[in-house]
């Protein structure tokens, strides 16, 4: 939070997957309208279809999902960010990488836990995955949060990173890796994460799908892996998210 030109400004971490949110409310409303306008039953191929209840309850379910998703965007992702970062015991001197940093939610959260360390964020700046996703929006949020001097923002993809081997103590990522297709390219991204993670370091990878795949692949690469869920915040985290906690074995002295 920061005062700018006499007003109190807060960071804006945007709308994740804006088309999904729009479609949940749009089709939910259309189904409700059809539920009131459609005939109660329709005979089709010898079957009696109860159109009005079908449309009505489909609309209700879509609108509930839309409301839960909006709650995540406004409240849940802040709490999930704090939960993710609590899974590491911070010293303050870490080198941190946020893969798919978007508008800087995890990047800023990590930087606030640093003293002499540095947080780097990379993204390909897709506006499909995040509304108004630009490096400028991210830098503004970092400035508002007061951590700009501890952060670096770069353009890049998870499957082809420019960093040297063993560069980062902590790697974080939320709702990014599932967007990488096909599965073989996702595996390349996981291999890159394992490559740039320092021995003794930890990767915290959060997603609503493919987390078992991430865990299996990282374990095969020699990392120690577990999957965690934040059941205490389940009502404000939709869709439900799991965190893959992957630790790279330290090099023996």
Last residue of a domain, one of 27, 47, 77: 77
Are 198 and 213 found together in one domain?
Answer: yes
Are 64 and 94 found together in one domain?
Answer: no
- The answer as to whether 118 is a domain residue is yes
pLDDT for 252: 54
Last residue of a domain, one of 33, 50, 77: 77
Buried b (16+ CB within 10 A) or exposed e, 72-84: bbeebbbebbebb
pLDDT for 3: 47
- The answer as to whether 115 is a domain residue is yes
Are 164 and 202 found together in one domain?
Answer: yes
Mean of the per-residue pLDDT values of the chain: 91
Are 60 and 86 found together in one domain?
Answer: no
Q: Hey, what's the torsion of the CAs at 43, 44, 45, 50, to 10 degrees?
A: -70
Are 64 and 187 found together in one domain?
Answer: no
For residue 14, the SS3 value is coil
Are 132 and 45 found together in one domain?
Answer: no
- The answer as to whether 89 is a domain residue is yes
Are 102 and 143 found together in one domain?
Answer: yes
- Residue 189 φ/ψ region, left for φ over 0, alpha for ψ in the -120 to 50 degree band, beta for the rest: alpha
Q: What is the pTM of this model?
A: 0.89
- The answer as to whether 9 is a domain residue is no
Are 160 and 227 found together in one domain?
Answer: yes
Half-sphere exposure of 173 (CA within 13 A, CB side): 28
Are 216 and 236 found together in one domain?
Answer: yes
pLDDT tens for residues 146-160?
999 999 999 999 999
- The answer as to whether 5 is a domain residue is no
231/197 Cα distance (integer angstroms): 28
pLDDT for 212: 97
- The answer as to whether 4 is a domain residue is no
- The answer as to whether 124 is a domain residue is yes
Domain count for the chain, please give it.
2
Are 207 and 228 found together in one domain?
Answer: yes
Read off the CATH number of the domain in which 218 is found. Answer: 3.40.50.150
Last residue of a domain, one of 43, 77, 111: 77
Using CB atoms within 10 Å of the CB of residue 119, give its burial: 0 to 12 exposed, 13 to 18 middle, 19+ buried: buried
pLDDT tens for residues 101-119?
999 999 999 999 999 999 9
Are 72 and 83 found together in one domain?
Answer: no
For residue 82, the SS3 value is helix
Are 68 and 88 found together in one domain?
Answer: no
pLDDT for 6: 45
59 is in which domain, residue-wise? 16-77
Could you read off the pLDDT tens digit of each residue along the chain, which spans 253 residues? 554 544 457 999 999 989 999 999 999 999 999 888 766 665 555 555 567 788 888 999 999 999 999 999 999 999 999 999 999 999 999 999 999 999 999 999 999 999 999 999 999 998 888 888 999 999 999 999 999 999 999 999 999 999 999 999 999 999 999 999 999 999 999 999 999 999 999 999 999 999 999 999 999 999 999 999 999 888 899 999 999 999 999 975 4
- The answer as to whether 206 is a domain residue is yes
């Amino acid at each position: 939070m920061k005062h700018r030109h006499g007003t109190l400004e807060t960071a804006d971490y945007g709308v994740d997957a804006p088309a999904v949110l729009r479609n949940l409310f749009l089709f939910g409303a259309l189904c409700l309208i059809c539920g009131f306008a459609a005939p109660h039953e329709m005979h089709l191929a010898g079957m009696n279809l109860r159109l009005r209840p079908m449309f009505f309850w489909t609309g209700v379910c879509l609108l509930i999902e839309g409301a839960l998703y909006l709650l995540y965007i406004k409240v849940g992702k802040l709490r999930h960010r704090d939960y993710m970062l609590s899974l590491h015991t911070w010293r303050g001197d870490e080198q941190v990488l946020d893969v798919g940093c978007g508008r800087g939610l995890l990047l800023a959260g990590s930087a606030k836990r640093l003293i002499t360390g540095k947080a780097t964020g990379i993204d390909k700046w897709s506006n499909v995955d995040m509304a108004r996703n630009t490096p400028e929006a991210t830098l503004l949020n970092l400035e508002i949060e007061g951590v700009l001097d501890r952060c670096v923002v770069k353009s890049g993809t998870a499957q082809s990173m420019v960093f040297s081997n063993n560069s980062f103590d902590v790697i974080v990522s939320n709702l990014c890796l599932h967007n990488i297709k096909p599965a073989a390219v996702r595996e390349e991204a996981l291999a890159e994460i394992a490559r740039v993670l320092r021995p003794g370091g930890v990767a915290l990878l959060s997603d609503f799908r493919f987390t078992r795949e991430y865990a299996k692949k990282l374990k095969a690469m020699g990392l120690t892996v577990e999957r965690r869920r934040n059941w205490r915040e389940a009502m404000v985290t939709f869709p439900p998210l799991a965190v893959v906690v992957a630790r790279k074995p330290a090099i023996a002295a």
